[in-house]
């Protein structure tokens, strides 16, 4: 049985739905912290295990009868390294055969401007140190996050971000979830690192051009100065920590941290991942 954590989240649900296409529901378990959010999974016949990353006892209980665990990264950036360690420790204690983790692709993690990324690589190390069979999925920045960065009114406002002409090999979260499920079912537990990226890297200039084409409205990209951009966010009432994080993401993009292209996603999907234009058409309903 495979236990998928973060199962009430967007990536977790995609993974489970893809697993279900090729595996019986009683071979799949979902770790959820709020059972009421998992009614749909329960209806599908998925084993629901209640627990959370802070509670080692519940994690060990949730892993009873489980052979493999997919650990989907948690959302609490301050606590998640310890939380992920708790999941690894529980997996080891219970004796699961393998653990997989959703990490991040970065060209040079030691030079990231976005310190919250480092927790992913600390988790990778914890998994390697555990001695468990494992698979690491290094996911590129979700294409789905573009709307968070450019804003919902992008067709009116255009795009102004401190990302220079940096590029991102954007891929849809749904493509990554499908690929992860395929890899898990194909037995990808042999200390493998997958880099899940799109087949092409795109700048925000490309994002603006694709939105222009899809909407028939001219959308311009203007690179912004990081300090001025951060000051504007603060003026709008964005908390300092969030503003710093956004600038960190953009600085990494500007520095080429997100532009690596790997064939892994396409290979695991058995088809080309969505292009920027296909993704934006769906995400912006154009
Ligand atoms: N590559 C990227 O661009 C990118 C972008 C955003 C996020 N991420 C990372 O990828 C992960 C998955 O993405 P997503 O879009 O599926 O996020 P999401 O929709 O926010 O789902 C996160 C899942 O993790 C669960 N979770 C969080 N903290 C937990 C804890 N302490 N114990 C147990 N479960 C916990 C949440 O449970 P609840 O439903 O109870 O909240 C939810 O099921 C995120 O958590 C984040 O680390 C990557």
| Cα gap 105→128, rounded to integer Å | 17
Confidence band of 89 (pLDDT split at 50, 70, 90) = very high
Taking residue 178's Cβ as centre, other Cβ atoms within 10 Å add up to 23
| pLDDT score of 160 more than 90 | yes
Instruction: For residue 11, report the phi and psi dihedrals to the nearest 5 degrees.
Output: -70, -45
Ligand 1 atom with least separation from CA of 140: 1
| pLDDT score of 277 more than 90 | yes
* 142 Rama sector, left if φ>0, alpha if ψ -120 to 50, beta otherwise: beta
pLDDT digits (tens, 9 = 90+) for 36-83: 999 999 999 999 999 999 999 999 999 999 999 999 999 998 899 999
- Identify the pLDDT of residue 187: 86
pLDDT digits (tens, 9 = 90+) for 167-206: 999 999 999 999 999 999 998 788 899 999 999 999 999 9
Q: 0.95 cut: is pTM over it?
A: yes
Confidence band of 135 (pLDDT split at 50, 70, 90) = very high
- Mean pLDDT in residue range 214-241: 96
Token pair listed for 153: 């009114």
pLDDT digits (tens, 9 = 90+) for 44-53: 999 999 999 9
Confidence band of 246 (pLDDT split at 50, 70, 90) = very high
Please tell me the distance between residue 242's alpha carbon and the centre of ligand 1 in angstroms. Answer: 17
Helices (H), ranges, 131-275: 146-150, 154-157, 173-185, 204-215, 226-235, 240-254, 264-269
Q: How far is CA 102 from CA 4, 71, 117, 135, 167, in A?
A: 11, 7, 12, 9, 22
Ligand 1: residues with CB < 6 A are 5-6, 8-12, 33-34, 37, 52-54, 72-76, 83, 102, 104, 139, 141-142, 145, 173
- Mean pLDDT in residue range 85-93: 98
| Cα gap 34→19, rounded to integer Å | 22
- Mean pLDDT in residue range 228-233: 95
- Mean pLDDT in residue range 212-228: 97
Domains of the chain and any CATH numbers: 2-140+172-196+261-273 (3.40.50.720)
3-class secondary-structure state, position 50:
strand
Close Cβ partners of 232 (under 8 Å, ≥ 6 residues apart): none
Please tell me the distance between residue 170's alpha carbon and the centre of ligand 1 in angstroms. Answer: 18
| pLDDT score of 223 more than 90 | yes
| Pocket mutation for ligand 1, best pick of 3, 4, 6 (most atoms within 8 Å of C-beta) | 6
CB-based contact 265:175 (threshold 8 Å): yes
- Identify the pLDDT of residue 42: 97
CB-based contact 107:260 (threshold 8 Å): yes
Strands 28-32 and 2-4: what pairing? parallel
What percent of the chain clears pLDDT 90, i.e. is strictly above it? Answer: 96
- Identify the pLDDT of residue 77: 87
| pLDDT score of 129 more than 90 | yes
**Residue with CA nearest ligand 1 atom 24:** 6
Arithmetic mean of pLDDT over the chain: 97
């Amino acid at each position: 049985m495979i236990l998928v954590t973060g199962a009430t989240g967007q990536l977790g649900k995609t993974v489970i739905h893809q697993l279900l296409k090729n595996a019986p529901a009683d071979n799949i378990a979902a770790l959820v912290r709020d059972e009421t959010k998992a009614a749909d999974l329960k209806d599908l016949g998925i084993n629901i295990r209640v627990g959370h990353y802070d509670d080692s006892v519940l994690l060990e209980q949730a892993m009873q009868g489980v052979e493999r665990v997919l650990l989907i990264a948690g959302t609490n950036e301050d606590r998640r390294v310890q939380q992920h360690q708790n999941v690894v420790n529980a997996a080891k204690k219970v004796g699961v055969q393998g653990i997989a983790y959703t990490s991040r692709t970065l060209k040079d993690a030691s030079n990231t401007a976005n310190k919250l990324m480092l927790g992913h690589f600390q988790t990778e190390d914890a998994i390697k140190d555990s001695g468990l069979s494992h698979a690491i999925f290094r996911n590129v920045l979700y294409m789905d996050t573009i709307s968070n960065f450019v804003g919902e009114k992008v067709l009116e406002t255009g795009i102004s971000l401190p990302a220079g002409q940096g590029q991102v090999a954007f891929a849809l979260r749904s493509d990554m979830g499908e690929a992860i499920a395929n890899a898990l079912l194909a037995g990808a537990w042999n200390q493998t690192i997958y880099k899940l990226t799109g087949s092409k890297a795109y700048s925000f200039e490309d994002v603006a051009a694709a939105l222009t084409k899809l909407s028939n409205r001219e959308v311009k990209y203007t690179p912004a100065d990081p300090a001025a951009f951060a000051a504007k966010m603060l003026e709008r009432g964005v908390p300092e920590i969030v503003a710093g994080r956004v600038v960190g993401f953009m600085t990494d993009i500007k520095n080429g941290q997100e532009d690596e292209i790997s064939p892994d996603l396409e290979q695991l999907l058995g088809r080309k991942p969505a292009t920027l234009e296909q993704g934006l058409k769906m995400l912006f309903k154009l």
